[in-house]
Amino acid sequence: MKRLTTIFFFLLSTVPLALSADQIHDFLIIGRDTICLKSFPLEELNFRTRPFMYGRYDFPGPACWRGYQATWKVIDNKLFLVEISKVDAPHEKADIFKYFSENNYSPVVVNGLIFADWFSFDLGSFPRDFKYFGCVWKPKPSKPCKACIRFDKGVLVYNRYKARR
């Protein structure tokens, strides 16, 4: 009976791990490379509405609670929001200026792109064993991690990222 109870509690403790899903990444274009970004700069604004609706819900499923995939680009050492795509229909794009307006946020616009002046983070090191993408994520505050890319109010202040050859 004791063995059965131990097995039961072990199996019960692994259920949340089995039900969790990795979130669909955003894209970060830096130089000639595109990497997947596991931090979500737009989420830092805590907007009350989402850019797309999925039936009664504002997310398509557990792999993307945000309901969108954003594309970011570094131009002249500044981070810009290029577009927001619907996850289940990537050719459907949100009007990003209308989306910001609906959430009562006046973004800084430079050459038709939204400057991410709210985003100040260290993006941690990432594995280089992907053929086309490296994954960059925000390190957890409790775990020290050397930054790979650092943004301060949308400005690239540190870049240890090595481009593909």
Give the model confidence (pLDDT) of 60-93 as tens digits. 666 677 888 899 999 999 999 999 998 877 788 9
Q: Count of residues for the chain?
A: 165
The span from the CA of 127 to the CA of 31, in Å, is 19
Amino acid, single-letter form, for residue 130: F
Q: Would you say residue 111 lies in a domain?
A: yes
The boundaries of the domain holding residue 133 are 24-159
Enter the tokens of residue 165: 């050859």
Q: For the chain, which residues score pLDDT lower than 50?
A: 15-19, 126-134, 137-145, 165
Q: Is residue 18 part of a domain?
A: no
Which pLDDT belongs to residue 65?
74
φ/ψ of residue 26, rounded to 5? -90, 165
Give dist(CA 46, CA 149) in Å, integer. Answer: 23
Dihedral (C-alpha) 52, 58, 105, 37: value to the nearest 10 degrees?
A: -80
Q: Which residue has the tokens 């490379």?
A: 33
- What pLDDT shows up at residue 91? 83
Contact 113, 80 (CB under 8 A): yes
Residue at 11 is within a domain = no
Q: Is residue 1 part of a domain?
A: no
Give CA 118 to chain center in angstroms: 14
Model-wide pTM > 0.85: no
In a domain, 165, yes or no: no
- Do the domain assignments include residue 7? no
Residue 4 covered by a domain: no
Provide the domain count of the chain.
1
What backbone torsions phi and psi does residue 151 show, to the nearest 5 degrees? -115, 135
Please report whether residue 117 resides in a domain.
yes
Q: What residues contact 160, with CB distance under 8 A and at least 6 apart?
A: 146, 147, 148, 149
Tell me the average pLDDT of the chain.
Answer: 75
